[in-house]
Amino acid sequence: MTPLISLRPVSRSAVLIALLLASVAARAQSGAGHDAKPAPAPTPRLADGTVDLGGDGIWSQPWITDFAKQLVGGPDAKVPFLPWTKAMYDYNAATKVAYDPEGFCLPPGGPRMFGTPYPAQFIQQRNRIIVIFEGGAHVWREIHMDGRPLPNRDDVNPTYFGYSVGRWEGDTLVVETTGFNEKTWLNFNGTMHTDQLRTTERISRPNRDTLHYEATIDDPGAYSKPWTVAWNIPWTAGAELAEYICQENNQFLLKLKDDFGKPFFDDEPVEHLPPAH
């Protein structure tokens, strides 16, 4: 049987390209408004008018690897390293961030949690907000919203996420946190901090599909002045958090060696003195 249209492969490709171009041209002629992305849905609100940070879906957090690329303050903004944090940043780059605590399945801590590429959900209650994270050791944060003051850092047990109190400033959730331990990096690229770290996070939802996250890092033990980073987190409607257990089958740790070439967990004590010079 003879096909109605018989074309050689090259001719068939040419026809397909022509059809595609014609389709694009036709759409362009039909007017820009026809194809324009619909405006995002407005910011959802609770019954009392407070911004609803939750809903039927998840926040699909991006992977923020380098806070230096997220700085607020214009193109001249820089991370105000102290000499030791700059030297450690360079060391971590030279060792290909092999010793990142998050690689050991420890919680990312602080602002890095919102830049770890696993989704999150907010659960808003009257006196507190809970943020649950799928990744970063399957952890959660508690933000006290009952008006209690932020304690002195020496009065709280140092933890990965510190002690957080929050308040609403208009439609922006402002969260202040102190009491961090020193077992985390600020970001994937090896930006360090001390237990003097205090963060102020400003979280808003300008429309249904966007969470704007901003964090000011104030750590006089590691930086010469406070500095601020920000990024947006998109909403994925209808999705749910999954179970993710970092510790399971972590092959990375089994192969990790230190700068001396020894397995990282080979805890050999110091027994011999170096030779005298």
Q: Which two tokens stand for residue 265?
A: 């967990």
- Identify the residue among 8, 126, 225, 272 touching other proteins (CB under 8 A): 272
Stretch 237-256 residues interacting with other proteins (CB under 8 A):
253-254
Q: Interface with other proteins by CB under 8 A: which range of 65-73, 164-172, 231-239, 268-276?
A: 268-276
Nearest to other proteins of 104, 140 (CB atom)? 104
Residues 6+ apart with CB under 8 A from 176: 150, 164, 165, 166, 198, 199, 200, 201
Q: Which two tokens stand for residue 243?
A: 């179970």
- Identify the residue among 51, 79, 106, 129 touching other proteins (CB under 8 A): 106
Q: Residue holding tokens 């933000």?
A: 143
Q: Is 63 in the site for other proteins (CB under 8 A)?
A: no
Contact assessment for residue 177 and residue 161, using Cβ atoms and an 8 Å cutoff: yes
Cα(first)–Cα(last) distance of the chain, in Å? 94
Closest separation between CB of residue 263 and other proteins, Å?
10
Label residues 244-255 b or e (16+ Cβ within 10 Å = b): eebeeeeeeeee
Q: Using CA atoms, how far apart are residues 162 and 156, in angstroms rounded to an integer?
A: 8
What is the size of the binding site for other proteins (CB under 8 A)?
45
- Identify the residue among 7, 87, 123, 242 touching other proteins (CB under 8 A): 87
Question: What x/- string results for residues 202 through 241 when contact with other proteins is judged by CB under 8 A?
Answer: ------------------xx--------------------
Q: Is 192 in the site for other proteins (CB under 8 A)?
A: yes
Q: Interface with other proteins by CB under 8 A: which range of 29-37, 61-69, 88-96, 118-126?
A: 88-96
Q: Is 88 in the site for other proteins (CB under 8 A)?
A: yes
Reduced to 3 states, what is the DSSP secondary structure of residue 259?
coil
> Which pairs count as long-range contacts for 12-16, CB under 8 Å and 24+ apart, including other chains?
none
Q: Using CA atoms, how far apart are residues 27 and 39, in angstroms rounded to an integer?
A: 20
Closest separation between CB of residue 194 and other proteins, Å?
5
Q: Using CA atoms, how far apart are residues 256 and 262, in angstroms rounded to an integer?
A: 8
Q: Residue holding tokens 């830049």?
A: 115
Which one-letter amino acid corresponds to residue 275? P
Q: Is 49 in the site for other proteins (CB under 8 A)?
A: no
* Chain residues in the site for other proteins (CB under 8 A): 82-84, 86-88, 91-92, 95, 98-99, 101, 104-106, 182-185, 192-195, 220-221, 253-254, 258-260, 262, 264-277
